[in-house]
Structure 1
Amino acid sequence: MGGEKHEVRREVDDVPTQPPVRTVMQGEHHCRRRPRHQFVEPLVTPTLLVQVQRLRHYFEDEGRAYLARTWLIDEAETATPSAGTKGRGKQEPWNGIDWYVSFGDEPGSRSWDDALRYGFVSAGGGEWFSRTLRSLPIGARVFTHIPKVGYVGVGTVSGEPQPFEDAVLTIDGYSRPMADLPLKGTYRPTPASAEADGQDRREWIVPVTWEQAAPREQALWRPGFFANQNSACKLRARFTIDEVSRHFGIDQDSADA
């Protein structure tokens, strides 16, 4: 695979278990190999923790013994961070309260107009999409972002996650089943998608009390803002928190206390 390193050392006698300083060579080795041993261990770099497979091979060619190693880096562990984020080795501290929420405002699906009017965030369509949203605790402060549009609101989680069919929202002081409300969006999966592979494709609703929120057309976005493909995650990006809070007039004292 791309990015492999091959390391070869010629040994006169037996191959030692702890070889001395070695010479590194690039490229393929076209000699006949006869593996005798291999093992896997992690490698830690100063700025990034990655999972690396280090494979050790012993082989012989025309009576000469060789030692070779190959490092295979897991691409999933070395993915390029999203714009506005930092590498894992430079991760900012979390204040224990702020969360990022991605709200997919899409035609034929959920609607930000509904979320703004009735006070909720939601995600669905599969376990991967709803799992992180369902981890939001009551009292969490959510910075809500519409992908490719911008940040549209900041609020506090006020209830447990529930599937759309069971969700109850507080409207003007009264509890109302969400399914009974006049809605612009669609929150029920189609029968075909619901039965396709046995996954939980329901839309999950998390009640939110908005501190400040705005229509989609007034969304805030600036270069360097945090964005993430998960429906929810802990928000550590200080620049994003400060700028969105300033824009919406949110008090930072309580979160930083």
Structure 2
Amino acid sequence: MSFNMQLWEVRNGKLVDLRSSALDKEERLENWIAKDASVLGLELLIIGRQVTTAYRGKIDLLAINRQGDMVVIELKKHKTPRDIVSQVLDYATWVKDLGYKEISAIASIYLGKSLSSAFTDHFNESLPETLNNNHSMIIAAAELDDASERIVQYLADEHGLNINVIFFNYFQNNGQEIVGRAWLMDPEEVNERSESRKKAPWSGYWFVNVGDGERRSWEDNIQYGYVGAGHGKWFSDGLKRLQPGNKIFAYIKGEGYVGFGEVTQQAVMIDQFMTKDSEGVEKPLSEVQLNAPRATDNLGNPELAEWAVRVVWHKTFAKEEAKTFKGVFANQNIACKLRHPETVDFLVKEFDVLEQ
């Protein structure tokens, strides 16, 4: 069954159906995405618009993610459903071969500055040394026919292609414009299936970045039983991937692995995370004495506040005793599935995991 979005207004205690209508100009949607790609629910930097391929096609929007991978974004506009699917696949055959120089050139023309500078400004970290290890395809549309949806799902499910459809529906209510968004498939699941075809099997353990500075402290993590992230939606969303029952290895950037534990409660903002202070009095984590002086910045703002996931630690080490070796797995993501066999074997031994 093809996707259908519905919205209701609560009016005098009753639900009133809002009728969707065609967006007057689909170029408006392209403009919105180009200006702020977060409307897709993904952290992307748009590096090109109407990018001409070697086959004389024009990609509506070309983006790069935090990992340095390319993302093709194609709007359905006036194309037929079958045309848009074949077109985005055709564009991907060109994008997959783009190298560092070609990507940098595309970006500098569109952004008016170097890709390295724009990437650092947007993601607050350096541009990866290697770009375009992977690529993904996004079709933006108000609707697709049943057959096209089945084709996209087949390509993602059976062939592991990182392809998805995001639906935008337009509503008007008493002169107010409303836009709704929904994915055909969970983007994380699609990405996971695509990556699993190229990577080692998942070990069953999670890698988690734990900071140690002004906004979070490893000593606080140990004392109050949690891992934290925040001060940006990308960071808190990464933490929200962790669910009760997940077994995690905590890592401090530049130091090594410092803890092994199990998640017992999903992410909440720190003013909702209950713990006990030094005198045994129960109170929110935001109200206890923390070693991280800026942990309580932006309280009340879900996108900028610090979030916490409750963890029962089985074994921990001080930062100075972090466990590492040359070639150990590390990642810039807040949380990701740990697949590196050598790292898993090393951590299982160092943290006595088999004895837990």
Classify the TM-score, shorter chain. Answer: 0.5 to 0.7
Q: Do structure 1's residue 92 and structure 2's residue 139 form an aligned pair?
A: no
CA contact (8 A) 2:277 2:289 kept: no
Q: Over alpha carbons, which structure has the higher Rg?
A: 1
Question: What are the ranges of 5 or more consecutive residues in structure 1 without an aligned counterpart?
Answer: 8-37, 44-51, 55-70, 82-86
Instruction: For 1:247, give the aligned amino acid.
Output: E
Residue deviations 1:12-42, cap 9 Å, x none?
xxxxxxxxxxxxxxxxxxxxxxxxxx97343
- What SS does the corresponding residue of 2:325 show, helix, strand or coil? coil
Query: Relative contact order (alpha carbons < 8 A, sep ≥ 6): 1 or 2 greater?
Result: 1
| 2:212 corresponding residue in structure 1 | 105
Q: Do structure 1's residue 141 and structure 2's residue 188 form an aligned pair?
A: no
2:238 pairs with 129, 132, 136, which one? 132
Question: What are the ranges of 5 or more consecutive residues in structure 2 without an aligned counterpart?
Answer: 1-51, 56-83, 104-127, 135-193
- 2:240 and 2:276 mapped to 1: Cα distance? 19
| 1:31 corresponding residue in structure 2 | none
Change (3 A) 1:118 1:42: same
- What SS does the corresponding residue of 1:155 show, helix, strand or coil? strand
Report the aligned-residue RMSD.
3.6
1:228 pairs with 321, 325, 331, which one? 331
The structural deviation recorded for 1:208 is 0.5
Q: How many residues align?
A: 186
Question: After superposition, where does 1:16-27 map in structure 2 within 5 Å?
Answer: none
Percent of aligned pairs with the same residue?
Answer: 30
Question: After superposition, where does 1:17-166 map in structure 2 within 5 Å?
Answer: 40-42=87-89, 52-53=91-92, 71-73=94-96, 79-80=132-133, 88=195, 89-95=197-203, 97-106=204-213, 108-166=214-272
Point out the structure with the larger helix share: 2
The structural deviation recorded for 1:134 is 1.1
CA contact (8 A) 2:251 2:259 kept: yes
Q: Do structure 1's residue 208 and structure 2's residue 208 form an aligned pair?
A: no
The structural deviation recorded for 1:176 is 2.7
| 1:23 corresponding residue in structure 2 | none
The structural deviation recorded for 1:171 is 7.6
Change (3 A) 1:170 1:188: closer
| 1:61 corresponding residue in structure 2 | none
- What SS does the corresponding residue of 1:131 show, helix, strand or coil? helix
Instruction: For 1:42, give the aligned amino acid.
Output: L
- What SS does the corresponding residue of 1:94 show, helix, strand or coil? coil
Change (3 A) 1:42 1:139: same
Residue deviations 1:144-175, cap 9 Å, x none?
10111110000000112110111113689x78
- 1:102 and 1:246 mapped to 2: Cα distance? 20
Change (3 A) 1:102 1:237: same
The structural deviation recorded for 1:80 is 5.0
Change (3 A) 1:199 1:244: same
Q: Do structure 1's residue 180 and structure 2's residue 282 form an aligned pair?
A: no
Q: Do structure 1's residue 242 and structure 2's residue 265 form an aligned pair?
A: no
- 1:200 and 1:161 mapped to 2: Cα distance? 13
CA contact (8 A) 1:168 1:175 kept: no
Change (3 A) 1:222 1:40: same
- 2:327 and 2:264 mapped to 1: Cα distance? 30
CA contact (8 A) 1:121 1:207 kept: yes
CA contact (8 A) 1:103 1:144 kept: yes
Instruction: For 1:180, give the aligned amino acid.
Output: E
Instruction: For 1:79, give the aligned amino acid.
Output: N
Instruction: For 1:188, give the aligned amino acid.
Output: T
Change (3 A) 1:98 1:189: same
Instruction: For 2:209, give the aligned amino acid.
Output: S
- 2:270 and 2:241 mapped to 1: Cα distance? 16
